[in-house]
Amino acid sequence: MISLLLACAAPPAPPAVPEPTRLPPPSWVLVGRASSDGLSTPTLQGGTARLGVGCAALNDTLHGHGPPCFVEEWRAGDGTVLVERAGARLRFDGVPGRTTWTPINGALAACLGDPLAVPPAADPGGQRTLERRTWVVALSGQNRCAIAGTLRLDATRDRADWSDLSAGGRPWSAGGREIAAATVRAEVRALVRSRWNELDEATRADALRSLAEDPDPDAARLLAEHGFDGKTR
């Protein structure tokens, strides 16, 4: 009878399987940096030599107006990532990396400038950090377009996420983009009014294109003043 009861009893429940642990993305820490612009905190031992003659040649070619060369070493636990940049060329841990992203265009590109600059967007409260293979560009709003929030840039692929950004206190996708664009247009008008004679031909052409698309009445006056009717040559 006991054997029969045991045979008819429900089998014991299998032991619970614990949920897999979700590890957070590694927080890389910048442990060394050397750059051609001298913004190297912390200093990377031997970094200046690693910049090499290629960086000097690039700066000569660009007449000092291009993005700086840099070498950065990032560390998480026992792992390290080495990032080496010379102008538009970048090596991210030995593989080709990105210095530009197609989605970063228009007003955002104008406001941000070099996405990998230190500090980003010349924002004294801004910071560029690294999570796995993603640059995390945090902006405090203390920049030319009052952009705040976090921009995420894939280090090796043409992917960017700006959904967390705002400008002038408005979300980027709900008025912020337009606020930033108006800021850029106003800067172009001011530049043309005060420094037209100092601008090179390429900069003048860019300024005229911006004025031709600017709905502000002052833009039309500036175009007429310089002999244009809203159409750039």
Predicted local distance difference test score (pLDDT) of residue 18? 52
Predicted local distance difference test score (pLDDT) of residue 57? 55
Predicted local distance difference test score (pLDDT) of residue 66? 62
Helix axes 201-212, 177-195, angle to 10 degrees: 130
Predicted local distance difference test score (pLDDT) of residue 40? 61
Q: Is the dihedral of CA 35, 198, 123, 140 positive or negative?
A: negative
Averaged pLDDT score across all residues of the chain: 83
- Residues in the chain with pLDDT < 50? 1-11, 17, 20-21, 23, 60-64, 230, 232-233
Percent of the chain with pLDDT over 90: 56
User: pLDDT, tens digit, for every residue of 161-219?
Assistant: 999 999 999 999 999 999 999 999 999 999 999 999 999 998 898 899 999 999 999 99
Predicted local distance difference test score (pLDDT) of residue 181? 95
Q: Are 212 and 204 in contact (CB under 8 A)?
A: no
